[in-house]
Amino acid sequence: MSPLSSSLLNPRLSFSLKPLFLFSQSSFAPRKFQIPRQFVSAKRKTFSALASEQSSATDNGGRSGGGGRSGALSPSPVVEEVQRIDVNPPKGTRDFPPEDMRLRTWLFNHFREVSRLFGFEEVDYPVLESEVLFIRKAGEEIRDQLYCFEDRGNRRVALRPELTPSLARLVIQKGKSLSLPLKWFAIGQCWRYERMTRGRRREHYQWNMDILGLPEVTAEAELISSIVAFFKRIGITESDVGFKVSSRKVLQEVLRCYSVPENLFGKVCIIIDKIEKIPIDEIKRELNATGLSEEAIEELLQVLSIKSLTKLEEILGGAGEAVAELKELFSLAEKFGYSEWIQFDASVVRGLAYYTGIVFEGFDRQGKLRAICGGGRYDRLLSTFGGDDVPACGFGFGDAVIVELLKEKGLLPKLNLEVDNIVCALDYDLQGVAAEVATKLREKGQSVDLVLESKPLKWVFKRAARTNAQRLVLVGNTEWQKGMVGVKILSSGEQYEIKLDELE
Amino acid sequence: MSPLSSSLLNPRLSFSLKPLFLFSQSSFAPRKFQIPRQFVSAKRKTFSDLASEQSSATDNGGRSGRGGRSGALSPSPVVEEVQRIDVNPPKGTRDFPPEDMRLRTWLFNHFREVSRLFGFEEVDYPVLESEALFIRKAGEEIRDQLYCFEDRGNRRVALRPELTPSLARLVMQKGKSLSLPLKWFAIGQCWRYERMTRGRRREHYQWNMDILGLPEVTAEAELISSIVAFFKRIGMTESYVGFKVSSRKVLQEVLRCYSVPENLFGKVCIIIDKIEKIPIDEIKRELNATGLSEEAIEELLQVLSIKSLTKLEEILGGAGEAVADLKELFSLSEKFGYSEWIQFDASVVRGLAYYTGF
């Protein structure tokens, strides 16, 4: 057995380096490339001289018994002074150690599977984009919190706050080569720069699904349908969540009655979106600042409080598009089988300037959480980038709120590491056979945790328990002489010997 | 059938809007929030006024037959002036339209599946890290090309050029809660800032597999085994690809004979790594600048040209770790069944300062 218990090798941490002791190089590691001539003219040592120096310096000599290397680490080629680094990820960002990664993978697999079931194709774009893609002067929060900077070439770039502008850019780039309607999805990390006093995240992952080339409300209906499908897959029902639906055209119609110019629509919507976040007087004041009259503001706020499509129709009349489209959507929701999941709510405008029609957001019925997802129609985005407009609608669904919701409902899956086999050689010379067993099992699609060091059986069992291994395959001299290996099924305790070529 | 054949609805592109015409707002859209009082005091129109205005403006009236919306789009709530944007992704980066994404997904699925078959667990870290994590003063190319910047809070951060320092950081963070050996993998995007005159990429995805807690050479053997498994899965054989293997300890042993201090090893390795990329005289010059004598340099370069482990053993003797480790690896590769894939080549040092063995 290789000696591994040198005090330098803490079983938990391979090194317990005390940076200050081992690496205090500052006395003889000048920062410049020149080293004192004394080193250069020192007498050249022979390799055997070196070897004996090493032997006396370590616990185990140059070599340990079994042919493996010595347990102690030889003084390393240390590269430089130690920098004490912060072991935490940058403020507002997350690491994903195995357990967190398993949850994320589980979630993303559901995103992908639903997208696949709905016939959407996956795409991706760079996380870094030109800042210009996100500069919309409508006063959106997304712009205030843009994570932008100058790159080494003095170009203004930004870590994307959302995926839709990149989609628009790629669609314009591809131009006529695309065949419509387009159904694309993406799962990408988005960033914002926010003052950390609020303890909020600076990055999150977002699942986006977009349909381009369809002006009909059936597109929005299909998108909401896909989110419903996703919720159902993970055990969330219409009693847990719902969708509030409205249309930007409602606001448009009210504002047009006051001849408010269209270029102000975006700004007005952004202000309205803050209704539940800042005091109503502040809202009124901001609306006034855009030039709206008191009368217009009053009417606007009244309309926004409407929670029934029938009432809306009374107010707006039946001739406008806002009511027609919303009625169409609710009718489709019946046909698509999810009318219990959606409700009209005129106060929903969403915080992005570019929505032009139906908008919706997923909410938690208990009212404890922020919006789970949000989306809508954005028929005019491409032209703002210099391209030809294409009718478009889509949604974004973040990875944070949904996890909080699942926790609330006790629906978080228990995901443990699970390995099919642990394979272990009981004798050092059988390492090769163990590797052969591992290879054979892996070729059959079974996962194998191959034990790569000499360990007592007790240790192997502990590891098997930790990794929820289904079975243990042991390669020992006695069995191997008969061409066999030992197998133990860990759940039942059953054990047997079997010929290597019969091992399944 | 809903009327869709308005000339405004090109089946390929729904609109052909001429930005200059529709959006030349500059005449009446001042940048400030104030709008001319004239709009504010205009007589309020009724919704039916509006509806008739809309009907006459569009081809199909407010509604189309089936209750769907009219084919033409009503004048939109335009958000602002048009910015002509560059439709290409930033220099050196890539978009992944569906066909490219399919290939990437296929590749990553193989990475993941091999990792799973070898019992490795997936992890991930932020693509943005503190710059300090990557500042190693060994002169590595990775450092010269670090994609660093100051964030809005004046902190020096960088888009990671590699995944290993993040792994180290996370392992340190987790401390004693981790049970060794650790077998972790990650697939993450890494960045570099390079002058674009060379037409090279600024980002790529990298599959990493790491084993922590095992000093034995069996760990390296297992890692190489996993890559062989990956190659086989995608149809590559040992006649197309191979692995050149050496050990930093070879260089260490040579340099120690010349009492070169250990803190210079990293730098020397980085210089050596450039052997096939810059002229040999340049290499010699850089080595000289680190303080190595002509004699040391000559011996180093000679050793680096060795392509046979037997020859290496003759030169270095059998007592050092370099030869022992390498012999062990080659022996394991026989047992693991991939000896046809690997060969000894002393010139392989790799370009990262922190390697201590293979």
pLDDT digits (tens, 9 = 90+) for B297-333: 998 999 999 999 999 999 888 778 999 999 999 999 9
Q: How many angstroms separate the CA of residue B305 from the nearest CA in chain A?
A: 18
Peptide bond into A90 cis (omega under 30): no
Reported as a single tens digit per residue, the pLDDT across B95-134 is 999 999 999 999 999 999 999 999 999 999 999 999 999 9
Predicted TM-score of the model (pTM): 0.83
Contact A471, A487 (CB under 8 A): yes
* Residue the block writes with tokens 């949604």: A395
Nearest to B321 among A34, A71, A74 (CB): A74
Residues 6+ apart with CB under 8 A from A459: none
Whether A316 and B47 lie within 8 Å, measured CB to CB:
yes
d(CA A386, CA A172): 9
Q: What are phi and psi of B165, to 5 degrees?
A: -60, -35
Reported as a single tens digit per residue, the pLDDT across B276-291 is 889 999 999 999 998 8
Reported as a single tens digit per residue, the pLDDT across A269-279 is 889 989 888 99
Looking at CATH, the fold of the domain delimited by B96-213 is given as: BirA Bifunctional Protein; domain 2 (3.30.930)
Which residue ranges make up each domain of chain A?
A: 98-409, 419-502
pLDDT at A140: 75
Nearest to B89 among A13, A101, A125 (CB): A125
Reported as a single tens digit per residue, the pLDDT across A161-179 is 999 999 999 999 999 999 9
* Residue the block writes with tokens 């792994």: B167
Residue A196: band (very low, low, confident or very high) from pLDDT cuts 50, 70, 90: low
Residue A35: band (very low, low, confident or very high) from pLDDT cuts 50, 70, 90: very low
On the question of pLDDT at B61 being above 50, the answer is no
Q: Which three-class secondary structure state does DSSP give residue A452?
A: coil
**Which of A4, A7, A37, A47 to probe by mutation at the B interface, max B CB count within 10 Å?**
A47
Q: Which three-class secondary structure state does DSSP give residue B253?
A: helix
Whether B83 and A85 lie within 8 Å, measured CB to CB:
no
On the question of pLDDT at A13 being above 80, the answer is no
Average of per-residue pLDDT values in chain A: 85
In chain B, residues with a C-beta closer than 8 Å to the C-beta of A89 are: 125-126, 129, 169
Reported as a single tens digit per residue, the pLDDT across A330-386 is 999 999 999 999 999 999 999 888 999 999 999 999 999 999 999 999 999 999 999
Lowest mean pLDDT of A116-125, A301-310, B207-216, name the range.
A301-310
* Residues B241-261: b if buried by 16+ CB within 10 A, e if exposed: eebebbbbbbbbbbbbbbebb
CA atoms within 13 A on the CB side of B351: 12
pLDDT at A82: 67
Reported as a single tens digit per residue, the pLDDT across A240-275 is 999 999 999 999 888 888 888 888 888 898 899 898
**Architecture (CATH level 2) of domain B216-357:** 2-Layer Sandwich (3.30)
DSSP element (H, E) containing A242: strand A241-247
On the question of pLDDT at B16 being above 90, the answer is no
On the question of pLDDT at A92 being above 70, the answer is yes
**Portions of chain B given CATH number 3.30.930.10:** 96-213, 216-357
Query: What average pLDDT does range B240-256 have in this prediction?
Result: 92
pLDDT at A339: 96
What does DSSP assign to residue A96?
B
On the question of pLDDT at B66 being above 60, the answer is no
Q: How many angstroms separate the CA of residue B229 from the nearest CA in chain A?
A: 9
Whether A63 and B321 lie within 8 Å, measured CB to CB:
yes
Nearest to A124 among B78, B96, B212 (CB): B96
Does domain A98-409 bear CATH number 3.30.930.10?
A: yes
Nearest to B336 among A184, A435, A447 (CB): A435
Contact B98, A122 (CB under 8 A): yes
On the question of pLDDT at A4 being above 60, the answer is no
Looking at CATH, the fold of the domain delimited by A419-502 is given as: Rossmann fold (3.40.50)
On the question of pLDDT at A460 being above 70, the answer is yes
Q: How many angstroms separate the CA of residue B340 from the nearest CA in chain A?
A: 16
Q: CA of B77: how far to CAs of A261, A302, A377, B310, in Å?
A: 9, 21, 12, 77
Enter the ipTM.
0.85
Tokens of A408: 């609330």
